[in-house]
Amino acid sequence: MDNQNNNQNNSNQNNRNPNNRNNKQGFSFIILVTFITSIMVLALFQFQGAGSDNEISYDEFLEMVDDGKVDEVVVQSNRIVITEKKEKNQKIAKEYYTGVIRDDSLAERLEKADVKFSQQIPDTTSAIIAQTLFSLVPVVILVGLFVWMTRKMTKGGGMMGIGKSNAKMYVEKQTGVTFKDVAGQDEAKESLQEVVDFLHNPGKYTSVGAKLPKGALLVGPPGTGKTLLAKAVAGEAKVPFFSLSGSAFVEMYVGVGASRVRDLFKQAQQMAPCIIFIDEIDAIGKSRDNQMGSNDEREQTLNQLLAEMDGFESNKGLVLLAATNRPEILDPALLRPGRFDRRIVVEKPDLKGRVDVLKVHSKDVRMDETVDLEAIALATSGAVGSDLANMINEAAITAVKKGRTAVSQSDLFEAVEVVLVGKEKKDRIMSQEERKIVSYHEVGHALVSALQKDAEPVQKITIVPRTMGALGYVMQTPEEEKFLNTKKELHAMLVGMLAGRAAEEIVFDTVTTGASNDIEKATKVARAMVTQYGMSEKFGLIGLESIQNRYLDGRPVSNCGQETASEIDKEVMKLLKDSYEAAKDLLKGHRKALDKIAAFLIEKETITGKEFMEIFHEVEGINPDDKKEKSEDRIAMNPVSLEKTEETEKTEEAEKIEES
């Protein structure tokens, strides 16, 4: 109860913050001054253009003189003022004016019409005073406004509050997120839970001599839930929580970012215990050893942040949380103990974590009895929390489109496909020849996967084009979660990737552009085997490439000379060529199954893994109920290594004899 009262008082103090009130008053004053200046400028133009409704032409003036309607004429420096004769019931005579035109006969005409006329001597004093007054007043107002803003800057607020911290502050559970809403990151939650518990029960830790960590850095790929974890800390901590992005410190004026850092920590220390969260801290925390040049504003901001983190004691209950997916570019001074004491890795969730994430995001979604979230988790290896949330939402939308009131397993699998390869392009019509090529290509992938013991089982085969560019694809789901890949599995992966191109060459005696993505993926795997995994007999265990931006694109960077790089290319080409030959050998040995499954796929466009295996077993004469026999057949059909079988060698010898 006391904690709630204190938090409420902190919230009220924040609402009554004089800085916020001064900022509001400052903006009100600026709006008022701008409005008054606009009114005065409009009045000036109105004054200069007064009487424009009484202007007449010189011809009309002469006509009035000839008709005897003019009583008096006064010739001024820039106009002729005409006073009309009053009528019987008229109290005030009307006045008109016209421009001055050089007319030597005007005086004679006025005398003839018995009109009183005179020449006015110009008095420029009052006009100059009025003009000067109306010209100087806006300038004086603008100068006063500039002086006022300068005085505000000297007080540390910056021009129009530009040096003020614009952090959003949450108190208690206003974020609406707690640790119950975060799944798949048990280790990260445990580390942050200790920080929250320390803020609630500091005596339990200080009695042992433990100190509160000054900072915790959340590191991981995009979409894994770093910001969500920080919001959960805000919901659990029940202390003031300041949240802002690293880019909020960056301005075009040098020194503004440092001023905002000072103001942020000043507010936080006044409201301690509290938590500060800086998202995307790499915007200001980039390493300062850049030889190509420097950014004074960013470096001053970073220096001020380092000084502020050294300037407060952990016993005050002030904790700094930060998130980034580029930890390798952060300044070493920012990462040392005493500033960010903990690095909390928020990795992609494993199988159990993905199941938990799916449960969290599906708790408010109505699902039927066919839903198996574990099967969906198996099919989405490598997906992050945001991907899984998107899949659940896409499945719900699909169920509504199909007129159902609950989400089914088929909706979830369709949502997985939408997220991974895009929506179906039903309006794209392929020719019969292209459909046949795509069908054999995809069946080649699936058939080689079924023939290899170390490959993943086939879930679905389709030749329906997708919006992300695929004309067809094979969905494979692993039987269990894997964290390591053996050399045999990587070889099987290469053979399976190149099997589509192999099927095209065997059936059509030509190749197409459809295997470009397969070749790209296969080259990446083969190069990693040679340069990173030490699976090349020629190079052995030497590391020839290293990974940069591990949590983003994971781009490899070469660590070898030009000659070695050339040898690497040769080794990769040899590995890919052997894999391609192994794929062709497998497909040639099972051509009958290839033709029958491809014909069935052309007719149906989409077949399930169960239908695929039934046709395969029927053609090969395998009894699917006899698991032992099936396993032995798979082993017999599977070249575990890339060495050629005796049957393949005999076939090649026969082909050579035939050619000769």
| Catalytic residue list | 442
How far is 47 from 409, CA to CA, in rounded Å?
A: 78
User: Which DSSP letter does residue 367 get?
Assistant: B
Question: What's CA 23's distance to the chain center, in Å?
Answer: 32
* Contact yes or no for 442/479 (Cβ under 8 A): no
* Contact yes or no for 531/543 (Cβ under 8 A): yes
CB atoms within 10 A of CB 191: 18
How far is 326 from 348, CA to CA, in rounded Å?
A: 15
Rg (CA), the chain: 41
Kindly give the interhelix angle for 591-604 and 562-589, rounded to the nearest 10 degrees: 90
> Helix (H, G, I), strand (E, B), or coil: what is residue 356?
helix
The owner of tokens 């850095």 is 217
Amino acid at 659: E
Query: Which H, E and C letters describe 216-258, residue by residue?
Result: EEEECCCCCCHHHHHHHHHHHHCCCEEEEEHHHHCCCCCCHHH
How far is 455 from 465, CA to CA, in rounded Å?
A: 25
How far is 483 from 377, CA to CA, in rounded Å?
A: 15
Q: Which residues contact 581 (CB under 8 A, 6 or more apart)?
A: 642, 644
Query: Kindly report the CA angle at 18 between 14 and 23, in degrees rounded to 5?
Result: 105
* Contact yes or no for 319/213 (Cβ under 8 A): yes
Cα 33 to Cα 36, 44, 132, 494: the distances in Å are 5, 17, 20, 73
- Strands 274-279 and 318-324, by their bridges, are parallel
How far is 550 from 198, CA to CA, in rounded Å?
A: 32
- Look up residue 638 and give its two tokens: 């599977």
How far is 587 from 498, CA to CA, in rounded Å?
A: 11
How far is 393 from 137, CA to CA, in rounded Å?
A: 61
Residue 177's nearest CA partner among 118, 125, 236, 221 is 236
- Look up residue 379 and give its two tokens: 């099919």
Alpha-helical regions (H) of 16-123: 18-48, 58-66, 106-112
- Look up residue 55 and give its two tokens: 């202007």
> Helix (H, G, I), strand (E, B), or coil: what is residue 75?
strand
CB atoms within 10 A of CB 71: 15
Q: Which residues contact 179 (CB under 8 A, 6 or more apart)?
A: 189, 192, 193, 232, 235, 236
- Strands 318-324 and 215-219, by their bridges, are parallel
